[in-house]
Amino acid sequence: MLNPGHQFSFQRILDHVLKRINLSPDEQDYFCSLLTVRNLLPRQYLVQAGDICKYESFVEKGFLRSFYFDPDGNDYTLHFAMEDWWISDSTSFIKSAPATRNIIALERCTVIQLDKISLGELYLKIPAFERFWRIMNENACMAQDQRILNSITMTGAERYEALLKKYPGIEQRLPQKHIASYLGISPVFLSNIRRRKPVSTRKLN
C-alpha cells in the first residue's frame, strides 16, 4: 500500500520515468513500492565523504550541491541537482565503497530514493528500467563530455555565459563562490564578469 502522503512526490517521479519508458499500471505501482521519501533542511547532508552512498536520489523539490574537499581543504563543486534530476556518488553506490564527495542541500529539499537492492529487483522484474537507466547514463556522459570540451575550448567568461544560458536562474540558487569552483575560475574573476552584466542578471552571492 502506497503512502497517500507521498502521492504527489511519486507522481513527479512517475512523470519523469514515463517520458522515457512505458510502464503498465501494475509496474508503476511496483516501482513506487520500492521508493522512499526523504526531506532535507538547508545545509543538511544527503551524502558525506567517507560514508557509503546507499541510494540513487531523485530531486522532487529543492537544490543540492555535490562537492569535494582536497587535502588542503579546498572546496570544488563537482555537480549540482535541481528538480527532476538524479544525484548520488555513483562509484560509492555501485561498489559500496566510501564516498569521495559530499552532497548537501542548499534549500529545503524532498528527494525520492531507491536503494541498490531495490534497483536490482527492479531490473529483474521490469527490464524496461535497464533502458531507462541507460538513457539517463548516456545523457550524463554527454553532458560531462560537453563540460570537459567547454573547459578546453572556452574562456572562463564564455563558460559562465553558457552556464546561464543552459540553466536560467542558476544564479538565484547556487552561490557565486560555488559557481566559480564549478567553472574552474576564481570568485574574483567571476565577480569581474558579473559586473559587466546587466544588474537584472545578478543576484545571489
Contact criterion met (CB below 8 Å) for 33 and 2: yes
Strand segments, DSSP code E, in the chain are 36-40, 45-47, 55-61, 64-69, 75-81, 86-87, 102-105, 109-115
Whether 29 maps to a domain, the answer reads: yes
Cα Rg of the chain (Å, integer): 18
In a domain, 143, yes or no: no
- 194 pLDDT band (50/70/90 cuts)? confident
CB within 8 Å of 31: residues ≥ 6 apart: 14, 17, 23, 122, 126, 129
Q: What is the pLDDT of residues 156-170, one digit of tens each?
A: 999 999 999 999 999
Q: Is residue 184 part of a domain?
A: no
% of the chain surpassing 70 pLDDT? 93
Q: Residue 113 is part of which domain span?
A: 4-128
Q: What is the pTM of this model?
A: 0.89
How many domains are there within the chain? 1
Residue 84 lies in a domain: yes
C-alpha span between 43 and 87 (Å, rounded): 16
d(CA 157, CA 163): 10
Supply the CATH number for residue 35's domain: 2.60.120.10
CA neighbours closer than 13 Å in the CB half-sphere of residue 93 = 20
Residue 20, domain member (yes or no): yes
- 174 part of a folded domain: no
Picking from 49, 75, 78, 53, the residue whose alpha carbon sits closest to that of residue 64 is 78
In a domain, 178, yes or no: no
Q: Render pLDDT for 113-144 as a digit per residue (tens, 0 to 9).
A: 999 999 999 999 999 999 999 999 999 999 99
Query: Within a domain: residue 175?
Result: no
What is the SS3 assignment for 75? strand
